[in-house]
Every structure is written in C-alpha cells, then in structure tokens.
Amino acid sequence: MSEIQDHNIIEVGYTFKNKDNERTFKRNVYINYNQLSQFIKNSNIIDAYCTAYLYDSKEIDKANLYGSLYLDFDDSKNLNNAREDAIHTLSYFKIVYKIMPEQIKIFFSGHKGFHLIIPKEILGIKPCKNLNEIFKSIAEQVNNFSIHKTVDLSIYDNRRLFRIPNTIHGETNLYKIMLTPKELLSLSEQEIINLARQPRYLNININRDFNPIAGNQYLQAVKTYEDNLKNSNKRNKGFRYRKKLNIVPECIKTILENGAEPGTRNITIACLTSFYKESGKTFDEIIDIISEWNSRNQKPTPEREMKTTIKSIFYSEKTYGCTTLQTLVRCNKSECKLIKENKKHYKKGIPHAIKV
C-alpha cells in the first residue's frame, strides 16, 4: 500500500465556451491537488469538477485511491425527498458511527440534491485500489436505511468527478454551496435555492480527529465488502450459461481479426462478451479471450475498465446482437450463418440466441 503523502494527483473536468461560443466539456486534465484553487481562479469555466479521489499516479487504473467518503442524494422531481434522506443519514452516522452532524460536510448540489462528505481522517481511511467499491458498499447500506431511496449508487467508479464547491451549475445557474446541519433541517427549498444564487463561504472548523468507534465501523464495512466479494467470486467461479450458439458469425470474426475502432472499444467488448456468454464460455474464459484480443488493439482498453464491462454484461440479462454489431462492422445478411440458424429456430419455436 502506498503512503498517504504520495496521493496528491487529481483529475479536473470543466465546461468552457469554444471559439464558436459553444459549450464544450473537457476532462483528463491532471494537476497537483494544491493547484486546484488557482486552477479555478484562472479558468473561464462554467461547470467545474474534480475527482472524488486523490491518486498516487496518473495511470488511474493502476493507482491507489485515497479520499473522503461521499454520498449523493438526488431526486429530480422532489428535492425534499433528497433532503429527508440526507437528514436521516446524518442520524445514521451519529447513531452507528458516533460521528456528529457538525463533523460532516453538507452541500446543496446546485441542482437536484445534496452531498454529504465524511472526512477520511475521522474514519481512518487508507489508500487502496478498490476504495470506490468499498464506498459503494457503504452507500448501499445507507440507501437501505433511507426513506426515499435517493442515494445515487451509480457514482462509485474510480474516476468519479464531483462538482467543486462554489462553482456554478450550467443548467440552473445556481452554485454548489455548503450548508450547516441546522440549515439542512430547517430551511425551505426556496430559501436554499436563494442562498445558492451566489457563492457561499462558511468559516466552519470541522473536527477531523480520528474516531475509534467510527474507524471500527469503517473496518467492519470493509470486511463486509471483502466477504461479499469473496463469496461472489466463489459462487460464480466456473459458472457458465447454457450454450445457445455453435456458430462464429463473420462479424465476430472481423472484430477478432481487426480489433475495435476508436470510440467503440467498450461497446465492442460488450458485444464480444454477449457472444461468448451465449456460446457457453465461463466468466474467466471470456476474460482470457478478450484480454488477449484487447492486447492486440492499437489502443488497448485499461484492464480494470475492460473487466468491469465484461462483468456488467456477463451477470445481467442484457444481450447485444445483430442490431448493435451492424453499427460496428459491415453485415452481409444473405451470407450470415447465424441469421440462417435463427430463422430455423423461429420455425421450430426455439428462442433465438442473438437478436437479429
């Protein structure tokens, strides 16, 4: 495990107006964390983000992650639902983790929700490669406790950009601002919006001292995550779907021979995963096959990203077939053995394996 002081790299993303006065979003800009304030001051930007994590390397898929636990409560139709869940979560951390609401950073996002940040020092968080997955596991527990289930569980990838406080939201022209626990509890929706019409700087000294009870709860959450991961891997080891395909269509052969075009790598990996799943391959077999294919691409997909895509397709009901493949490679329907095979299945009343 790398040392905490090595984690000083962040990625920033922002929207700016180009020479045609059109809004353009830019990311993959890496800076030292202590340069962030100056970066914001010097940039003519509308929406501004930085990663939720600090990294010890610009090779993010190989880097260790370090950061504070973050939670996002969103409800586009009813802001008060998100607020109620945020308030209940403050109670949850007070009761279970013994962290006082005054020790948690509270933000109105400037749009449809609220952010809670639990300082990493209080929990005794250490750098690791899968910190984002540990955070997601905790967020799932919080969501189970919440009333309206407004916790956003889709924000725990390892390159998650989070809106920077006191920067303006391009859609609402409202700022992401800090709130006190009392304000979260007592202000009306309109009063919060009125506060967010301009930047807001609160001089609040938060006690970040390590809390042994909170630290123990965090370690238990880490153990729960690791046990669930171990059980999942054990349960899925060697698992294969019932074989439905005995044919390798020309489109798949073309992809295997020529690789993926720029900008289509993830969807191509999804299609290959879907094909091999329907061919009866195990998860590990698919990883090996696609890893070898990926290594021959002009610009290989990072291993972590590739495995995440494969896993999301393999353990879901979603399939990718001819409709998607035709956007990737040229299809000669009259010569396709798979289409001919599917037509036979239709006549016999057998479910087809890949949608035509």
Q: What is the pTM of this model?
A: 0.68
pLDDT of residue 17: 73
Reported as a single tens digit per residue, the pLDDT across 316-339 is: 777 787 778 888 888 776 677 666
186 and 310 both lie in a single domain: no
Residue 287 placed within a domain: yes
Residue 238 placed within a domain: no
Range 57-76 average pLDDT? 91
* 78, 102, 184, 292, 303 from 83: Cα distances, Å: 9, 16, 7, 48, 38
Last residue of a domain, one of 193, 227, 261: 227
Rg (CA), the chain: 24
* Number of domains present in the structure of the chain: 2
Confidence class for position 238, pLDDT limits 50, 70, 90: low
Which element (helix H / strand E) includes 27? strand 23-32
220 and 312 both lie in a single domain: no
Whether residue 30 is predicted with pLDDT greater than 70 in this model: the reply is: yes
330 and 189 both lie in a single domain: no
Residue 239 placed within a domain: no
197 and 109 both lie in a single domain: yes
36 and 170 both lie in a single domain: yes
Residue 243 placed within a domain: no
Residue 237 placed within a domain: no
Residue 353 placed within a domain: no
**Dist. CA 328–CA 218, nearest whole Å:** 45
254 and 217 both lie in a single domain: no
Residue 14 placed within a domain: yes
* 49, 57, 160 from 126: Cα distances, Å: 23, 16, 18
| Mean of pLDDT over the chain | 85
pLDDT of residue 47: 80
For the record, the structure tokens of 5 come out as 């002081």
209 and 257 both lie in a single domain: no
211 and 298 both lie in a single domain: no
183 and 287 both lie in a single domain: no
Reported as a single tens digit per residue, the pLDDT across 273-292 is: 988 888 888 888 898 899 88
Last residue of a domain, one of 227, 262, 295: 227
60 and 159 both lie in a single domain: yes
222 and 313 both lie in a single domain: no
Reported as a single tens digit per residue, the pLDDT across 3-23 is: 677 789 999 988 877 777 777
Torsions phi, psi for 182 (to 5 deg): -65, -40
**Dist. CA 161–CA 105, nearest whole Å:** 17
pLDDT of residue 248: 83
Domain that holds residue 115: 4-227
209 and 259 both lie in a single domain: no
Residue 73 placed within a domain: yes
Considering only CA atoms, which of 302, 263, 269, 311 is closest in space to residue 60?
A: 302
